[in-house]
């Protein structure tokens, strides 16, 4: 079964192409790294999966459904880049995780007992329970990430999209975060993250997608994370990286 | 004269009671809205919309319909113009707003200068709550109450929209719809505040209380309460000041709000300074 299926997807913005004829089939329960240069189309790919951008042509299936249907059923959860979040916002860790329940609540969004239970459960899983009353700006880079992973868990989504989760996060927190994501993978979640950390990629990603306006290659890390593919994706030789083949 | 007299004497005049009640109600609803606007970064948009209602007010006077209806139509027109120019050009949003609101405001000035009437530009710009009619007072109170109830009922949705519209959209709730919903609330509030503080001073009511509260708390529900209290107290103080000092009511309200903001600013600076000192000691 595939969590994500894109067939010949093109996205045309006003002044440029976001994606051209991109096709990818991401199996359920895998941990995929999405790599490519800035502006290569990684964000567009994420937006297509989340149903925020409608492809100009091609077809998209998320958990066998249309992206809009998947939105309604809460299939995909998104962890934003740290720099896109207003960390001065007057909300606590608990408040942010509760936002994960938003799509499941009635129109007044009044939290019920079930919502509180799921929020505590999610906070427990990411190890952020003691920090629940902190204002979100009072956390380290790694803790901030875990709060948003908790929000995705509270949401109950089966597919997690993480946009540059390691940007602004130290090595120790990066390790803690990948451990957490690997646990979630064991529990059956599909993890998809974009990253510039090519050196450690093969340690936790079992699949890799190389993006350059289209999907240059996608498959098991051992097969597609090769010098040739990476060179083609990044327009040049990449040194200091351990390749699979 | 003792304190009780100071407080009760102005209340013997119906126009003072009306002024105090209407300013407080308008103050409260503007304060609630201001919390969302400053977090969303929409302060300038409030500024733009309030200026843009001027031609609507004058046209409403000429045709003979309520001021707020004309104002509301032009508020929506401004929003649509700003939105469509922004999507179809590369001009940045602040410049687009500047162009739209000054042009509409200028149109309002032209219309006023060609209208032989009792319409007083000063009252439209700076409010004249002491002279508000019973009908207008009830209208303002009614509209404000409805807007306040809507804001409080949907505060969680509006807050998520301000914080993370992408997440909101990704769970299937239209962020675009909430965007326009908040804009309509803003337009309605501005037109309802017209006669109390006028279209220039309402900008302050839509920015200052929320900003003051933001300096004092890290909890959104507390922020809503602080902003409302600050705003209502300012309205009452402003109304009394205008009675005893014979000064503009709107001016007194907004000036007092600004003073409270300065106090909150000083307090927050001192507090963060103390925190730094204590943390140095504890290390």
**A76 lies within 8 A of chain B by CB:** yes
Question: For residues A122 and A97, is the Cβ–Cβ distance under 8 A?
Answer: yes
Query: Is there a contact between B173 and A155 if contact means CB atoms under 8 Å apart?
Result: no
For position B62, which CATH number holds? 1.10.3470.10
Quote the domain boundaries for residue B115: 3-282
CA distance A168 to B260: 38
CA distance B71 to B56: 4
What is the dihedral angle through the alpha carbons of B68, B71, B76, B77, rounded to the nearest 10 degrees? 150
Query: Is there a contact between A50 and B223 if contact means CB atoms under 8 Å apart?
Result: no
Note the pLDDT of residue B279.
59
Instruction: Tell me the mean pLDDT in the region A150-157.
Output: 93
Using an 8 Å CB-CB cutoff, list chain B residues near A103: 171-173
Note the pLDDT of residue B182.
95
pLDDT 10s digits, A94-133: 999 999 999 999 999 999 999 999 999 999 999 999 999 9
pLDDT 10s digits, B105-163: 999 999 988 876 666 788 888 888 888 889 889 999 999 999 999 999 999 999 999 99
Considering only alpha carbons, which residue of chain B is nearest residue A15?
Answer: B90
**Complex ipTM value:** 0.91
Using an 8 Å CB-CB cutoff, list chain B residues near A89: 39, 162-163
Does position B171 have pLDDT exceeding 90, yes or no? no
| d(CA A72, nearest CA chain B) in Å | 5
Does position B207 have pLDDT exceeding 70, yes or no? yes
Q: Is the CA virtual torsion B207, B213, B219, B225 positive or negative? A: negative
Note the pLDDT of residue B282.
41
Question: For residues A14 and A33, is the Cβ–Cβ distance under 8 A?
Answer: no
Instruction: Tell me the mean pLDDT in the region A177-206.
Output: 93
CA distance B183 to B167: 20
Q: State the DSSP code for B118.
A: S
Total of domains in chain B: 1
How do the residues of chain B divide into helix, strand and coil, expressed in percent and rounded to 5?
Answer: 85, 0, 15
- With 0.90 as the threshold, say if the pTM is over it: yes
Domain ranges of chain A: 1-75+160-245, 86-157
Pick the CATH number of A1-75+160-245 from 3.40.50.300, 1.10.3720.10, 3.30.465.10, 3.40.605.10: 3.40.50.300
Note the pLDDT of residue A237.
56
**A87 lies within 8 A of chain B by CB:** no
First to last CA, chain B: 56
Instruction: Tell me the mean pLDDT in the region B268-282.
Output: 75
The residue of A54, A90, A91 whose CB has the most chain B CBs within 10 angstroms, and thus the best one to mutate to test that interface, is: A90
Which of B153, B163, B169 lies at the smallest CB-CB distance from A91?
A: B163
pLDDT 10s digits, B56-81: 988 988 888 888 889 889 999 999 99
pLDDT 10s digits, A155-174: 999 999 999 999 888 888 88
Using an 8 Å CB-CB cutoff, list chain A residues near B175: none
| d(CA A195, nearest CA chain B) in Å | 20
């Amino acid at each position: 079964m595939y969590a994500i299926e894109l067939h010949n997807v093109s996205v045309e913005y006003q002044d440029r192409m976001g994606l051209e004829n991109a096709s990818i089939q991401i199996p359920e329960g895998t941990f995929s790294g999405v790599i490519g240069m800035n502006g290569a189309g990684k964000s567009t790919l994420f937006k297509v999966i989340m149903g925020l951008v409608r492809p100009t042509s091609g077809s998209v299936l998320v958990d066998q459904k249309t992206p809009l249907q998947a939105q309604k059923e809460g299939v995909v959860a998104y962890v934003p880049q740290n720099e896109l979040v207003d960390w001065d916002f007057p909300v606590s860790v608990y408040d942010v995780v509760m936002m994960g329940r938003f799509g499941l609540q009635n129109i007044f969004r009044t939290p019920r007992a079930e919502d509180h239970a799921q929020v505590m459960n999610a906070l427990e899983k990411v190890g952020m329970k003691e920090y629940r009353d902190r204002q979100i700006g009072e956390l380290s880079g790694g803790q901030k990430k875990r709060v948003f992973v908790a929000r995705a868990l509270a949401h109950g989504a089966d597919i997690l999209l993480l946009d540059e989760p390691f940007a602004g996060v130290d090595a120790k927190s990066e390790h803690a975060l990948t451990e957490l994501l690997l646990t979630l993978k064991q529990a059956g979640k599909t993890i998809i993250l974009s990253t510039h950390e090519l050196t450690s990629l093969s340690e936790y990603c079992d699949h890799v997608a190389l993006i350059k306006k289209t999907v240059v290659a996608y498959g098991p890390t051992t097969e597609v994370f090769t010098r040739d593919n990476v060179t083609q994706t990044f327009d040049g030789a990449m040194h200091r990286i351990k390749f699979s083949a | 004269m003792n304190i009780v007299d100071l407080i009760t004497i102005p209340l013997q005049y119906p126009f003072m009671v009306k002024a105090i009640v209407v300013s407080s109600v308008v103050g409260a609803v503007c304060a609630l809205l201001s919390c969302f606007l400053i977090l969303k970064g929409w302060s300038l948009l409030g500024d733009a919309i309030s200026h843009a209602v001027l031609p609507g007010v004058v046209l409403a006077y000429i045709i003979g319909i309520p001021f707020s209806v004309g104002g509301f139509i032009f508020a929506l027109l401004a929003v649509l113009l700003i939105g469509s120019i922004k999507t179809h050009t590369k001009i940045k949003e602040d410049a687009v707003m500047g162009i739209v609101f000054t042009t509409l405001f200028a149109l309002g000035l032209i219309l006023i200068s060609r209208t032989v009437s009792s319409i007083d530009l000063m009252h439209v710009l700076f409010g004249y709550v002491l002279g508000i009619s019973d009908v207008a007072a009830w209208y303002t109170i009614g509209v404000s109450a409805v807007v306040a109830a809507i804001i409080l009922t949907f505060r969680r949705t509006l807050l998520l929209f301000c914080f993370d519209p992408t997440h909101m959209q990704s769970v299937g709730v239209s962020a675009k719809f909430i965007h326009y919903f908040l804009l309509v609330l803003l337009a309605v509030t501005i037109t309802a505040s017209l006669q109390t503080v006028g279209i220039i001073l309402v900008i302050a009511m839509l920015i200052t209380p929320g900003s003051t509260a933001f300096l004092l708390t890290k909890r959104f529900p507390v922020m809503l309460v602080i902003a409302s209290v600050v705003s209502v107290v300012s309205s009452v103080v402003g109304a009394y000041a205008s009675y005893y000092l014979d000064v503009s009511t709107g001016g007194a309200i907004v000036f007092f709000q600004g003073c409270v903001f300065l106090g909150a600013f000083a307090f927050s600076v001192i507090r963060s300074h103390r925190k730094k000192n204590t943390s140095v000691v504890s290390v």
